[in-house]
Amino acid sequence: MQTKRHPLISDVPGTERCVISHHFGQPGSGRKVYLQAGLHADEHPGQLVLWHLLPLLQQAEDAGRLTGEVVVVPCANPTGLAQALYGEGIGRFELHSGENFNRHYPDLYPQLVTALTGRLGSDAAANCALVRQNMQALLQELQPQTELASLRRVLLQLACDADAVLDLHCDLEAVLHLYSTPSGELEAQALARHLGASVLLLAEVSGGNAFDEACSTTWDRLRTHFGAELPLGSGCFATTVELRGQCDVGDVVAAHDAAGLMDWLAEYGVFSQRGLTGPHPRAEACPLAGSEDLQAPVAGLLSFHVAPGSWLEAGDAVADIINPVSGERQTVRASQRGLLYARSDKRFTRRGESIAFVSGKQIRRSGHLLSA
């Protein structure tokens, strides 16, 4: 294992932060997999999973069983990890700018089109290498002006030339689920089976240029632009893995997830292993635009009827909202069949807040599909 420090530029004198990455295997020896956790710095399950994964990768490297390259960043957002307000960690938004740490990644597509026009041929592997080389060159040319911009650049520099990118997050209270693109569905299904994910939520573009989509959708757009005669190879499969809820942090579950990741790495071809543990059943793939975002029609105390992982029919009660002043009670119901994969961790809701999400097969939303 090789450990590297990537200093961030500092917004104020007297502070210095850096991203630490751990590298296994030989670059160029096979496929490259990049895993990070804690980009939303108040989402900790993935961080513990990666600390369980590191010794497993070390054993594999020592035994000469790594057949590719694996890069691991357990703490992808030191800026967010340091933020707190009145005793609560604030890890989703940068307090200075108000920006979500997992949005607004640089869109390299327009400059890549310019750089690659006239330089691609019929050799997919050569084209793929050229795209990756140009991505790195464009990122190198960026001149970030803030710590946040330099964080985004460092993370993309570590990930953008990988064959697979796993960004480990979690929801508030949830079962394990994955976000990816339709072009990544097969790879996402394989990962979902090893992790035991219940549902895959797929979208060509979710809006906001999140980290995973900055890695993957650029390839989809380049493929569409250059056409089949100039093949680009497999490009980059990227997924956001929602490792259950914010409180689902513990050694037992983290060790289980790390073992699942090793099994997936073996299937993906960067780790030779015999006797994989039996994978879980196939996850249900649904369009992200088919998810029902159940919002509170009134403010009040929130009493859930169902837990994450419950399959619902249209009309099933999800929660009662009780007005603490009048005692009035209103029931919120699912309007479609699907899996309740995430719900709020609050027990008092304001009017209009999202209280639960139910997967669905039919498209029902458009525009920005992710929460703020």
Cα-based torsion angle of the residue sequence 320, 324, 328, 332 in order, rounded to the nearest 10 degrees: -20
Q: Give, in degrees to the nearest 5, the angle at Cα 219 between 214 and 222.
A: 120
Tokens 């640089």 found at: 106
Q: Give, in degrees to the nearest 5, the angle at Cα 302 between 297 and 306.
A: 100
Does residue 194 belong to the site contacting Zn ion (CB under 5 A)? no
Smallest separation (angstroms) from Zn ion to the CB of 342:
11
Token pair of 149 as six digits:
């911009």
How big is the chain by its Cα radius of gyration, in Å? 21
Cα-based torsion angle of the residue sequence 26, 29, 34, 35 in order, rounded to the nearest 10 degrees: -70
β-strand partners of 72: 22, 35
**Total residues interacting with Zn ion, rule: CB under 5 A:** 3
Interacting stretch for Zn ion, rule CB under 5 A, among 50-58, 116-124, 161-169, 339-347?
161-169
Nearer to Zn ion, 23 or 40 (CB): 40
Smallest separation (angstroms) from Zn ion to the CB of 64:
36
Q: Phi and psi for 293 in degrees, rounded to 5?
A: -95, 100
CA–CA distance, 269 with 32 (Å, rounded to integer)? 10
Binding mask 22-61 for Zn ion (x = CB under 5 A): ------------------x--x------------------
CA–CA distance, 145 with 247 (Å, rounded to integer)? 35
Binding mask 350-369 for Zn ion (x = CB under 5 A): --------------------
Smallest separation (angstroms) from Zn ion to the CB of 162:
19
Report how far apart the first and last C-alpha atoms of the chain are (Å, whole number): 37
Residues counted in the chain: 372
Interacting stretch for Zn ion, rule CB under 5 A, among 162-170, 257-265, 277-285, 286-294?
162-170
Nearer to Zn ion, 44 or 169 (CB): 169
Nearer to Zn ion, 84 or 314 (CB): 84
Nearer to Zn ion, 40 or 103 (CB): 40
Smallest separation (angstroms) from Zn ion to the CB of 318:
22
Out of 44, 52, 169, 194, name the contact with Zn ion by CB under 5 A: 169
- Say if strands 237-245 and 164-171 run parallel, antiparallel, or are unpaired: parallel
Smallest separation (angstroms) from Zn ion to the CB of 204:
20
Nearer to Zn ion, 159 or 262 (CB): 159
Smallest separation (angstroms) from Zn ion to the CB of 171:
8
Interacting stretch for Zn ion, rule CB under 5 A, among 166-174, 206-214, 287-295, 317-325?
166-174
Q: How many CA atoms within 13 Å lie on the side-chain side of 360?
A: 19
Q: Give, in degrees to the nearest 5, the angle at Cα 209 between 108 and 220.
A: 60
CA–CA distance, 246 with 242 (Å, rounded to integer)? 10
Nearer to Zn ion, 51 or 93 (CB): 93
Smallest separation (angstroms) from Zn ion to the CB of 343:
15
Smallest separation (angstroms) from Zn ion to the CB of 100:
9
Contact residues: Zn ion, CB under 5 A: 40, 43, 169
